[in-house]
Structures are given as C-alpha cells and as structure tokens.
Amino acid sequence: MAFKNITVSVEAYAKLKSLQKMGESFSKTIIRISGKRRAMDVAGILTAEEGEAIQKGVDELRRKTKVRKWH
C-alpha cells in the first residue's frame, strides 16, 4: 500500500479526529466519511408536497419529544 503525507489545519485535524471511530485509522475515517452524500446530491428526489409532509412529521416528533422531556 502506498502512502501520501498531507498537511491539515489544527481545526481540520480536530474535526477529523472527532469523526474517528474507536480503533479506526485516519485513512479509514476519511474513506468512510467521504462516501456520505451531500444535500445537493439528493435535491429534487421528493416533490414539494412530499417534503412538506416529511417536515410536518419531523416537527410533530420534535414537539412530542420536547413535551416528554419536561413532563
């Protein structure tokens, strides 16, 4: 396996370190997180109506969760 050295800022290192799982190398962390989709990758999949229905469900769940925490 070939290796490359890279330089990152202290902030970038801290963020990467926070995403690292126990026993996972930085290389494996980078590979794992770089496969995640961005919001723009899925833009347009839902209709406006479907998006609104999902948002209403999320809002309702959040409302119920807040009520349970305090009562």
pLDDT at 71: 46
What average pLDDT score do residues 30-56 get?
85
- Residues 2, 21, 18, 6, Cα dihedral to 10°: 0
CA 56 – CA 29 distance, rounded (Å): 34
Cβ–Cβ under 8 Å, residues 24 and 30: no
Determine the Cα–Cα distance for residues 34 and 37; give it in Å rounded to an integer: 8
Q: Where are the domains of the chain?
A: 10-34+47-70
- pTM, to two decimals: 0.50
Given a cut of 70, is residue 69 above it in pLDDT?
Answer: no
